[in-house]
Amino acid sequence: MKFLVIGLGSMGKRRVRNLIALGYKDNVVGFDLREDRRSEAEAYGITTYENFSTVIEEYKPDAFLISTPPNFHMYYAEFAEKKGIHCFIEASVVDAEKILELSKKVANTDIVMAPSCTMRFYSAPIKIKELINHNIIGDVLNYNYQTGQYLPDWHPWEEIEEFYVSNPDTGGCREIVPFELTWINDIFGDSKPLACVRRKLTDMPANIDDIYHCLLEHSNNIIGNLTVEVVSRPQATREIRILGSKGEIVYSADDNELRYINTEMKDWERINFDIGTVEEGYINPEEPYINEIKAYVEAIQKISKYPNTLEDDYKILQTLYKLEEISEGRDDLSR
C-alpha cells in the first residue's frame, strides 16, 4: 500500500512519523507547495513533491492522509473519491454539507474515508469510557470539562497571522470544539446544544473568539459544561470532572492522573498514565496518533472498522453551528 501525506506542516510531519513507526517508511511520500516544509519532511528519509498532479501521476498512491488547513480538506477528499483512493482527513470545521455529500458517495463503495478522532486513542478517554461502561460511578449525571492552550504557543516558530487558526472560519477554538466533541459524544451520547457564550478575551493578534463556553445535554439527561479556550498559559489545560449517581471520575493533564471513587470505596483509586514519546517541538505524545493511523490502515485492510464516520463529523459540526447560532442570539439580546 502506498501513502501520500498532503500538507507537511506540523501535523503532516507527525503523520509521516506515524506511518514510519508502523513500518511504512518505504511506502510514504509527501506533498506540499512550500519548499521549507518539504525539506523538513525529507529529513525523515521520504521523497516529497511540490506538484500535486505529478505525485498522482508518478507515485499513484493508494491512500491519502490530508493534513492541510481545514478549508482545503474537501478539495483533496473529493479528488480521492473520484479516483477511488482511500482517505484519512484531519479534524474539519468547515464544509459540513460537502462532508455529508461525500459520505453518501462512498457509502456503498470500498473506499475508506476516515475522519480523525485522535482523542479516542488517548489513554484517559479510553479509561473514562471503560469505567462508565462498567457502571463504576452509577448513572452519569453531569460533567465539567475545560481544555485549552494559549494560541501563539501552538506554533511558536511562526507568526500567528500565518497560521490558519487565526482565521475566523478555522479559528483555534472553533476547530477544537468539534475535535473534543468527537470523544465526548462517543462516551456520553449525541449532544444537544442548550447555551453558548463565546468571546475574544485577549489581545492576541487574531480576529477570533478565544473562548467557547458551551452547555450541552446528552443522552439520558446528562448535562455537560464544555469550555474550550486558547488562553491557558504558560501550560496547557485539560481537566474533567464527571459526577455520577454513585461516585466521581476526575482527570487532570497537569499530573496525567485519573482518579475515581464511589460510595462503596473508602478512598480514591488513582491511575497514572505514561507521558509517552513527545517529539521536540510538540506537546502531545506520538502514541495516540500512531494508533489512530493504525486503525485507518486496518480499516483499509478490512481487519477492523474505523471508529469515526463522515456522518458523525457532519452531526458534530451541526452541533458547533447551533452553539454559534445560540451565542449570536444571546449577543443580540444583550444589545
CB 261 within 8 A of CB 250: no
The residue among 56, 81, 116 that closes a domain is: 116
Residues 316 and 200 in one domain: yes
Nearest-10 Cα torsion for 150, 151, 155, 159? -120
% of the chain residues with pLDDT over 90: 93
Query: Is the pLDDT reported for residue 238 higher than 50?
Result: yes
Residues 238 and 193 in one domain: yes
Residues 7 and 137 in one domain: no
How far apart are the C-alpha atoms of 317 and 303, rounded to whole Å? 29
Count structural domains, the chain. Answer: 2
Each residue's pLDDT tens digit, 85-138: 999 999 999 999 999 999 999 999 999 999 999 999 999 999 999 999 999 999
Residue 12 in any domain: the answer is: yes
Each residue's pLDDT tens digit, 297-312: 999 999 999 999 999 9
Residues 158 and 181 in one domain: yes
Residue 297 in any domain: the answer is: no
Each residue's pLDDT tens digit, 153-186: 999 988 899 899 999 999 999 999 999 999 999 9
For residue 95, give the CATH number of its domain: 3.40.50.720
Residues 124 and 260 in one domain: yes
Residue 192 in any domain: the answer is: yes
Residues 130 and 67 in one domain: no
* Residue corresponding to grid cell 457532519: 314
For residue 268, give the CATH number of its domain: 3.30.360.10
Range of the domain at 103: 3-116
Mean pLDDT score, 267-278: 96
Residues 49 and 174 in one domain: no
